[in-house]
Structure 1
């Protein structure tokens, strides 16, 4: 969506975006309550934070905290309205008597107050879902986190909790899946560091194939480079068959899978699996899978945000679409947790313990330097 132009510190008047539909729903609801305060008991569970507009939020909070008058008293005197203004003005100085009159005029049918309240709750659910998706995206891209996987899974749990709450408040209906065009998946990390980790995994896997046979939680599709994925598939296939595994047998398997072509000669393939191993396959496999987890978390986040940005989606469509895309992250999460059964379920302080299967830093540096 194009951003409005700012000139001399002010928005150009012809570019100020129009208010969203929920603005009118909030106005209509508040107008209905100003006309008939007793309708506060008929609109269901509604909190001030459910309102998008600040002044609307403050005014509704004042309504909840100020006992309404009886129907006859309210008709005869504006005392309740004046009290609302006195309570709300410290936080919303813009509220005035003419403003209250505008709210009343904006209500087409006070008897529809419960419907307006449902609209306010629905839009609040949309904004809440979007905020949690943004927090998930931030956790998946924050390189300063000491344990990004744990942070991402914590945010995923928070997003899942929001969806569970929505499921209890919004009724299913036909055509529940959103028709929003899904954004492309988040790009995989193909940095030199990521590719180095995959190369070290290939070298360690060739050197210690017995460990590879136990790493069923890692899949060829987890690799950022297709060639690395194909070579790992060769190693794991040999290991699962119980065949001998060394650089020559891996090359022979690679030939049968069509990997030996003019652009990738045998010597180059051999080089990828004969490097000096440092650490264990499990250690490097965990790092590879962690990058997959972070990438899937980014994909989940951008797709949930796309759902919430599409105003055509009903609350239940947001719920159904978000649950489906969150399931893809859960599938990776299950595999990740199989690799790290002793990891805590919530983020904790950084520790100085040495990774249980990792190589010393000098070994990694040496291995990368000799590539």
Structure 2
């Protein structure tokens, strides 16, 4: 049960900086005070109200049977009954506030427009709450299964967007005009750098494994240089070229990657120290990229929700597009972590189980020197 409205809380009568929805809620409730029968026609729920006390009053107005119009004009019995119905949850609610609501209503016949504004603001707040949960879950390093938890929150956000989509009509200019915040640079730490170095070295040594790793892209890397080197390796592999550390070095030179800090000797040293299997390190990299993309998408949706100039339809359209961007990374992660198809069984023999590279214990990982920190 929410805490009761305190006598000293003046948020109803004198809010410090009221948002527009505050006045929309007052106007709607004022219309219902003037014409109680409108309460049955308003398509709203208590949770749609930003102000808790307004929601309680709306619920009370729907609970107390509306009076006859003539009777309502002659006495305030219905107002007293509404106040009595709401007061247990809001003991500090002044009786005079119902009269304040009447003064806040420009036109009772505009009640449907006020209700639409309340629904629109509730949609914005709802999307924002779910985007915050997505960002928090993707950033929580204590979760035992962070990808599963992040996908759960992403699915919930998608369900909310789908449910709200039919409530707001499309209009020209359906995409948000809000400037999209730049993608935050992925910060994976020493472990991420090691994973990326090991992938490059093992991929150079085992280029055939790279042919099945189309689920990994250069944008998944936390070090841009290593992402560019991955493009060099995959370019050689997919062209059917010869792949070893010298040919990768030459490809890196052609790509303009050799600079004062990235030397030929340093690159050869990096590619000469393989350990484990490429798909294992690649899976770790794309997993890290998936969580980072979830945070980036959540930040983008929060920017849309925080822009008061964004219409509800623009918010929903922009959010669904952002979530589709995350879904594409999840699809690649799913391909990376799905069991590999088993090779055909020999006649008369059972089908051998698929074998994938397992995790390498942290105690056997070798310390590495980075080309770019």
* TM interval, short-chain normalised: 0.7 to 0.9
Structure 1 match to 2:201: 203
Query: Structure 1 residues 21 and 223, CA, compared in 2 at 3 Å: closer, same or farther?
Result: same
Give the Cα–Cα distance (whole angstroms) in 1 for the partners of residues 81 and 189 of structure 2. 62
CA contact (8 A) 1:282 1:357 kept: no
Q: 1:81-96, aligned counterparts within 5 Å?
A: 81-96=79-94
Structure 2 match to 1:217: 215
Give the Cα–Cα distance (whole angstroms) in 2 for the partners of residues 74 and 37 of structure 1. 9
Structure 1 match to 2:5: none
The runs of 5 or more residues in structure 1 that have no matched partner are: 1-9, 343-354
Structure 1 match to 2:36: 37
1:288 to 282, 285, 290: 285
The alpha carbon displacement at 1:171 in A equals: 0.5
- What are the Cα deviations for residues 95-137 of structure 1, in whole angstroms up to 9, with x where unaligned? 2221111011111111111111111111100110111111111
RMSD: 2.2
CA contact (8 A) 2:28 2:114 kept: yes
Give the Cα–Cα distance (whole angstroms) in 1 for the partners of residues 273 and 207 of structure 2. 15
Structure 2 match to 1:147: 145
The alpha carbon displacement at 1:340 in A equals: 2.2
Structure 1 match to 2:364: 363
Structure 1 match to 2:309: 312
Structure 2 match to 1:345: none
TM normalised by structure 2 equals 0.86
Structure 2 match to 1:22: 21
The alpha carbon displacement at 1:235 in A equals: 2.2
The alpha carbon displacement at 1:190 in A equals: 4.3
CA contact (8 A) 2:40 2:62 kept: no
Structure 2 match to 1:4: none
- What are the Cα deviations for residues 205-243 of structure 1, in whole angstroms up to 9, with x where unaligned? 123222111000111222121221122222223333344
SS of corresponding position for 2:309: coil
Structure 1 match to 2:229: 231
Structure 2 match to 1:184: 182
Structure 2 match to 1:326: 323
How many residue pairs match? The answer is: 342
Q: 1:238-317, aligned counterparts within 5 Å?
A: 238-278=236-276, 280-317=277-314
Give the Cα–Cα distance (whole angstroms) in 2 for the partners of residues 249 and 277 of structure 1. 20
The runs of 5 or more residues in structure 2 that have no matched partner are: 1-8, 340-355
CA contact (8 A) 1:49 1:57 kept: yes
CA contact (8 A) 1:50 1:121 kept: yes
Give the Cα–Cα distance (whole angstroms) in 1 for the partners of residues 255 and 180 of structure 2. 34
Give the Cα–Cα distance (whole angstroms) in 2 for the partners of residues 101 and 143 of structure 1. 52
The alpha carbon displacement at 1:369 in A equals: 6.1
Which stretch of structure 1 is more off in the superposition, 53-62 or 251-260?
251-260
SS of corresponding position for 2:367: helix
The alpha carbon displacement at 1:157 in A equals: 1.2
In the alignment, structure 1 residue 119 sits paired with structure 2 residue 117: yes
Query: Structure 1 residues 241 and 181, CA, compared in 2 at 3 Å: closer, same or farther?
Result: closer
SS of corresponding position for 1:169: coil
- What are the Cα deviations for residues 162-184 of structure 1, in whole angstroms up to 9, with x where unaligned? 21122100011112222112211
CA contact (8 A) 1:54 1:92 kept: no
Give the Cα–Cα distance (whole angstroms) in 1 for the partners of residues 135 and 259 of structure 2. 39
Give the Cα–Cα distance (whole angstroms) in 2 for the partners of residues 317 and 276 of structure 1. 49
Following TM superposition, where does structure 1 have runs of at least 4 consecutive aligned residues deviating by more than 4 angstroms? none
TM normalised by structure 1 equals 0.86
The alpha carbon displacement at 1:31 in A equals: 0.8
The alpha carbon displacement at 1:39 in A equals: 0.6
The alpha carbon displacement at 1:17 in A equals: 4.3
Structure 2 match to 1:52: 50
Query: Structure 1 residues 114 and 261, CA, compared in 2 at 3 Å: closer, same or farther?
Result: closer
Give the Cα–Cα distance (whole angstroms) in 2 for the partners of residues 35 and 218 of structure 1. 63
Give the Cα–Cα distance (whole angstroms) in 2 for the partners of residues 369 and 203 of structure 1. 12
Query: Structure 1 residues 370 and 194, CA, compared in 2 at 3 Å: closer, same or farther?
Result: closer
